[in-house]
Amino acid sequence: MINQDVMEGVVKTAVLFLLGIFLYTRVTSGVVSYYINERFFTLTLVAGLGFLLLAAGYLRQWVLGGEADHNHDHEHHHDHDHSLSWVGVLIVMLPLLLGWLVPPRPLGATAVSNREINFGTDPIKP
């Protein structure tokens, strides 16, 4: 039987790694330009690399055993829980699943010309 802490570490590492790879590939392939302005490419790339660094940190902690440097005298158990919830994993994985399952396409000219927001009978134009 797999330990709960080990399973959470594996899931956290995998999700962070997949998020990092997803953002990195979207920026390097230029597909991210379908969704956001060019000026945010660097920010998206930094976020992807940050997710990869976090995954590497979790992997390092998991491989080295994480508790080796925690033998000093103070309490780490506060009034809250750090366990992983499956709802949280689903919320984080949903953009990944949609990003890989739905093929990316640029918006057409009809999307640009139809910029009004309709809340009922009267459209609101920007």
pLDDT given for residue 3 in this prediction: 77
| Predicted confidence (pLDDT) per residue in 89-110, tens digit | 888 889 899 988 998 888 776 6
Spatial contact of 124 and 117, defined as CB atoms under 8 Å apart: yes
Please report, for the chain, the start and end positions of each structural domain, with discontinuous segments joined by +. Answer: 1-66
pLDDT at 70 over 60: no
- Three-class DSSP category at 117: strand
Q: What is the pTM of this model?
A: 0.70
Q: What digits encode the pLDDT tens for the residues 39-58?
A: 999 999 999 999 999 999 98
